[in-house]
Every structure is written in C-alpha cells, then in structure tokens.
Amino acid sequence: MTPNRPDDLKFAFPPLHGRVAAPEWAVRVDLAAAYRLSAHFGMEEMIRNHISARVPGAPDEFLVKPAAIRFSEVTASNLIKVSVAGERRDAAPLPADQAGINIHGAVYEARPDVHAVHHSHTIAGMTIAAQKDGLLPLSQHALRFYDRLAYHAYEGIALASEERVRLKRDLGGAARGMILRHHGLLTAGRSVAEAMVLMYYLDLACQIQVKAQASGAALTTPAPEVCREIARQIEGNGLTGDEEWPALRRLADTLDPAYAT
Ligand SMILES: [Zn+2]
C-alpha cells in the first residue's frame, strides 16, 4: 500500500493509545516527537533516513517509521514494529525500509545499552563523512564526541546482511555517535531524548567545521588533554537529553500536537 492522501494513513493505522502497554505508548510519543523535531531542524531528506527506539520490555524489537511517509507525518500510532533481525512484528500494511532496518537492527544487536538510534543525511554530516580526517575538535560541540565517535566505511546502500557484522564491529564499543563514510551520521542514545539531542549537536559540530574550513582562516584545535577533559566533563554532567526533552516536547506540541496520537 502507498498512502496517497493523509486520510490513507489514518485508515491504515488505527489509534493505538490504550491498546499498547503504557511504557510502549510513552516511547512511541517520544519517537514521533523526535521525527517532527528533526523535520523542524532540517534533518529530513524526503522519506529517507530513520529514527528508531527499542520497545520497552521487548529488547529484540524496535519501532521505526514506515518507508513511505515523511517525518512530519509520523504519529505515535503509525510507527511500525520490527525485530532486530529485520522481521516485521506488526500487521500494519506499509512496508519498512530495508536499509534502515538493517542499520538500526545492527546497532541494537551490538549495543544492549542503546535504546534509540537517530540516523540522518544532513548536508554538513555528509560533508564531514567525505573528509579523510572526519570530525575535528574545532568546537565545544565537537568535543562532546572526542574519542566517542566511531567510523564506518562505505559499502553501498546498507542492504546486505553481511554489512551488519561490520556495523556491529564499528559501533561495538562505547561510542555515542558514528560517521558513516559517504553516507551520513548516526547517534546511539540511552533514550529517544539522548539520541535526538546528540544528533542535534553532532550535526551542529559538522556545520561549524564546514563553515570554519570554508572561511579560509588558519584553524586551531585545543590540546588533546584539554579535549579529553572537556569530553569527560560533558559526559560527567549527565547531559543525557533529559534536561532538553521537556522543552523539545513543548516545541513539538507547538508545531503540531497530532504527533502524540
Ligand atoms: Zn542513510
């Protein structure tokens, strides 16, 4: 089924409030908010890229948007459910995006501590993904990811299940973000809030680097020990997205409260 009118989505996905467990509903609402906010922040690319969240109480399942809809059409009820191995676990009529499921499923298999994944194709992110040296410690935003950023070599559109092995290897440590070479960015959060906030700052760090390099001025970076200390400080301050999230949810409410239906 391909939705041609907004009403098609409503008929395809009946409201789930009260029909799924309360913790799952809460994650669905947070995830739908993250999609709407990402569209607002300019992180949407037509119908491509995905944000996902592990289903509470079902660690081998995650929620993600169907392939054919835009970020700004996502609601808590029209998220689909798939297993980390890529099998559908719901009866909704819209297909999933196979490459998206492959990438997200690999992260959940590799990282039990991760409960939400944000993957974007922002212009700044793809620009840094094309640079040999990757993200440089040019800004405080970049320092948040110092020694905490993984890199994944380009293998084409991530459809092959063998690529999952390499994705799992590359994000198998404690990294909170990953640069997919010639492709885009990924963040791995302990919550939807953390994945969203990390993506906001990772993309911002990439934007700053692109602009700093384009300025033509000689660039400077802090000493490695300062970079390590700042990264530790940011992490130690418990910046997990929980402080930002209520304000971001209010922004999502202002943009269009229908996400929470
Ligand atoms: Zn992608």
Among left, alpha and beta (phi > 0; psi -120 to 50; other), residue 87 is beta
Residues around ion ligand 1, judged by CB within 5 A, are 184
Q: Which residues of 108-130 are buried (b: 16+ CB within 10 A; e: fewer)?
A: bbbbeebbbbbbbbbebbbebbe
Indicate if the pLDDT at residue 158 is higher than 80: no
**Distance of alpha carbon 16 from alpha carbon 111, whole angstroms:** 28
Q: How far, in Å, is the centroid of ligand 1 from the Cα of 216?
A: 30
Please tell me the least confidently modeled range out of 142-151, 189-198, 223-232, 235-244. Answer: 235-244
**Distance of alpha carbon 131 from alpha carbon 224, whole angstroms:** 20
Q: How far, in Å, is the centroid of ligand 1 from the Cα of 184?
A: 6
Side-chain-side CA neighbours of residue 247 (13 Å): 5
Q: How far, in Å, is the centroid of ligand 1 from the Cα of 22?
A: 31
**Residue percentage of the chain with pLDDT more than 70:** 98
**Residue percentage of the chain with pLDDT more than 90:** 82
One-letter amino acid of 209: Q
User: What are the extents of the domains in the chain?
Assistant: 6-260
Supply the pLDDT for residue 66.
95
The predicted model gives 137-165 an average pLDDT of 89
Supply the pLDDT for residue 5.
80
Q: How far, in Å, is the centroid of ligand 1 from the Cα of 103?
A: 8
Supply the pLDDT for residue 172.
81
Radius of gyration of the chain (CA): 18
Indicate if the pLDDT at residue 142 is higher than 80: yes
Q: How far, in Å, is the centroid of ligand 1 from the Cα of 157?
A: 8
Indicate if the pLDDT at residue 161 is higher than 80: no
pTM for the full predicted model: 0.96
Indicate if the pLDDT at residue 2 is higher than 80: no
CATH 3.40.225.10 fits 6-260, yes or no: yes
The mean pLDDT value of the chain amounts to 93
Indicate if the pLDDT at residue 240 is higher than 90: no
Q: How far, in Å, is the centroid of ligand 1 from the Cα of 49?
A: 5
53: which residues sit within 8 A by CB, 6+ positions away? 27, 28, 30, 31, 62, 63, 115, 116, 117, 192, 195
Supply the pLDDT for residue 15.
93
Q: How far, in Å, is the centroid of ligand 1 from the Cα of 159?
A: 11
**pLDDT tens readout for residues 15-70:** 999 999 999 999 999 999 999 999 999 999 999 899 999 999 999 999 999 999 99
Q: How far, in Å, is the centroid of ligand 1 from the Cα of 180?
A: 8
Residue of 142, 127, 240, 225 whose CA lies nearest to 188 = 240
**pLDDT tens readout for residues 169-228:** 999 888 999 999 999 999 999 999 999 999 999 999 999 999 999 999 999 999 999 999
